[in-house]
Amino acid sequence: MSNERTNETVKKSPSSSPSSSYAYYWSNEKSPLFQTLAGSCVLFVFLVTWFASVGSPVLGVFWVLNGQYLPLSVLVTLAGMAYLPWNQGYVSHLVSTFARCNTLYYKKCVIIFQSKESIPKKDQKDQAPLLYAVHPHGAFCMGWSVLFCSKIMNEGKVKFCFSPVLYLSPLFRLWCRLVGRPGSAAKASMIQYMRGKDEPKCSNPSHLALPPGGFEEATISYFEKDRVFIKKRVGFVKLALQNGYNVVPVYTFGENQTYYNLQGFWKLRLWLNGFGVPAIMVFGSWLFPLLSKRNPLGLRVVVGDPVVLPTIPNPTREEVKLWHDKYVAALVRLFEEHKEEYYGSEISKTVKLELW
């Protein structure tokens, strides 16, 4: 591994851009083969857990019909563990350490905090609660998972919220609980987190992370375009206004290039998204299509400056739109400020962020 890695300590980094003060950086371009294999193993476990969890009801019925009670009992045991109350311990430490190896799969991987204010503090009394809005969703949220596994987000006690369907899926829920601090993106759950009612011993609201584009943003992902599904996504801004949160735009350069995704049939596919169905048809690595492509430019996760919002218990539609527009402007500005650092001077002249 390159000696440029900061071992996840927040400090000035020579690899960060002039507009960035705090960064984690590591390069895997000339690393030993075993490191790349280690990263691919982590991603493989993540993806298989994802698919197995979604398909677990079908597997359960199949095993019952065929009298295969041993695998059924294992599935039921794991499902029970996913829902039982327990604290992270030694096993969780080992699993989270293993999960952080996912970054070794990419030829380059960078996490940049554009300012000190965007770094989650351990003592939340000294900081307004933050809502990290992570874009783009991509096929499998690779940038989101890099942040989810990182020490700084875990130590800052950031709760990562995702699709309620996935959060209820036992195997994926168990994996996420072992790695970090998962949560549901359902409105009722988000309100609980924001009011500090999700943890009995903690009255402070949690820092949260959310991919607001959801399955729709995954559906429209395209290898040759940077796209976000944001025009109609105003709910997270309204919740932030009601509960005193500042919203932090996050953009992952290279997320769109992790998988090829079939284009077209937008009305049908976006309609399916409304039922919690990820209407994607993707293809990753040519050697193993389930794994993402190893783009030479890698992943660059840029965490922008917080958009400081007022606290408005009952915001009007106009007020929500006003602050949503300001958030979108901040996201576009973040993209424009960092696109040259990722794409280079020539390509960046024509690259624009598409707003859907």
Residues near 171 by Cβ (< 8 Å), separated by ≥ 6? Answer: 49, 52, 53, 56, 78, 79, 82
pLDDT tens for each residue of 56-99:
888 888 888 998 989 889 888 988 899 998 888 888 999 999 99
For the chain, give the mean pLDDT.
87
CA atoms within 13 A on the CB side of 266: 9
pLDDT tens for each residue of 216-257:
999 999 999 999 999 999 999 999 999 999 999 999 999 999
pLDDT for position 300: 94
pLDDT for position 202: 62
Confidence of residue 169 (pLDDT cuts 50, 70, 90): confident
pLDDT tens for each residue of 299-352:
999 999 999 999 999 999 999 999 999 999 999 999 999 999 999 999 999 999
Predicted TM-score of the model (pTM): 0.90
CB 221 within 8 A of CB 101: no
Residue of higher predicted confidence among 344 and 3: 344
Q: Which of 238, 266, 236 is nearest to 249 (CA)?
A: 236
CB 234 within 8 A of CB 328: no
pLDDT for position 5: 40
pLDDT tens for each residue of 108-147:
888 999 988 999 987 767 789 999 999 999 999 999 999 9
pLDDT tens for each residue of 7-21:
343 343 333 343 445
The token pair at 33 is 């083969």
